[in-house]
Amino acid sequence: MIGLLKRDLALSVRAGGGFGLALAFFLIVVTLTPFAVGPEPAKLATIAAGILWLGALLSCLLSLDRILALDYEDGALELLATAPIPMEGVAAVKAFAHWLTTGLPLTLAAPALGVLLNLPAGGYFWLTLSLAIGTPALSVVGTFGAALTVGLKRGGLLLSLIVLPLYVPTLIFGAEVARRGAEGMALSSPLALLAGITLATVALLPFASAAAIRINLR
């Protein structure tokens, strides 16, 4: 499993789907926001948490189609299906590799980009915490979407259409945690719901992803 993780990390960086592309897109979204809504500090502070969460979510989409596509194209996925490693473990490792190369860098970069949107001082910790809790769910759900569309030509658009509705609960509660933290409000309920969503996806979706991979390999 460790060897598979190292291989996926190396492939993710070499294929151009690593943290660099996601961070660049995240920076572009945050930089263009003041041009679209106006540079007023009060207005930016109000929408900063939501924009940062939305930018992180969209950045995660950029590399989803490469989670399984490279292994499918070179036949490695078929070998993994016959290996002694459970396919559920393979799906979990690939989701973890995606989070390490995309979700974690976005989480670490978000506070710095929050300065550009005049995020209130009290919101930096809660923004980082909400992304740290919520982005694993984005990677696991994205792996499930990639498993459903693996082998399809031009499946990137279909993958986005499948995954985006499933991202909505994480986006709602993640942005709510960051917003309430910035405003000094009570946030135990959205934080618990965000953690519950992540735990549920991590516990259940690797099995669904494995089943989808097996079906597509038949």
pLDDT by residue (tens digit) across 158-176? 888 999 999 999 999 999 9
Asked if pLDDT for residue 11 goes beyond 70, the answer is no
Q: Is the dihedral of CA 126, 129, 133, 135 positive or negative?
A: positive
Asked if pLDDT for residue 13 goes beyond 60, the answer is yes
Distance CA 95, CA 78 (A): 18
Asked if pLDDT for residue 39 goes beyond 70, the answer is yes
> pLDDT at position 215, please?
87
Distance CA 35, CA 12 (A): 33
Report the share of the chain in percent with pLDDT over 90.
54
The better pLDDT of the pair 15, 44 is held by 44
- What stretches of the chain show up as alpha helix (H) in DSSP? 2-14, 19-37, 41-61, 66-73, 76-82, 87-98, 104-116, 123-149, 156-183, 188-217
> pLDDT at position 115, please?
92
Are 44 and 117 in contact, with CB atoms under 8 Å apart?
A: yes
Number of structural domains found in the chain: 1
Alpha-carbon separation of residue 186 from 88, 179, 190 (angstroms): 37, 10, 9
Residues in the chain: 218
Asked if pLDDT for residue 9 goes beyond 80, the answer is no
Average pLDDT on 95-103 reads 91
Cα-Cα end-to-end distance for the chain: 24
Burial level of 73, CB count in 10 A (0-12/13-18/19+)? exposed
Residue 197, domain extent: 2-217
Distance CA 182, CA 185 (A): 8
pLDDT band at 84 (very low <50, low <70, confident <90, very high): confident
79-88, 147-156, 179-188: which is most confident: 179-188
Average pLDDT on 205-214 reads 92
Average pLDDT on 49-76 reads 86
Asked if pLDDT for residue 16 goes beyond 60, the answer is no
Which residues are CB-neighbours of 168 under 8 A, at least 6 positions away? none
Average pLDDT on 12-23 reads 69
Nearest Cα neighbor of 127 from 202, 118, 32 is 118
- Scored b (16 or more CB within 10 A) or e, 147-157 reads bbbbeeeebbe
Asked if pLDDT for residue 99 goes beyond 70, the answer is yes
Measured in degrees and rounded to the nearest 5, phi and psi for residue 169 equal -60, -40
Are 194 and 134 in contact, with CB atoms under 8 Å apart?
A: yes
Q: Mean of the per-residue pLDDT values for the chain? A: 88
pLDDT band at 58 (very low <50, low <70, confident <90, very high): very high
Residues 133-156: tens digit of each pLDDT: 999 999 999 999 999 988 777 667
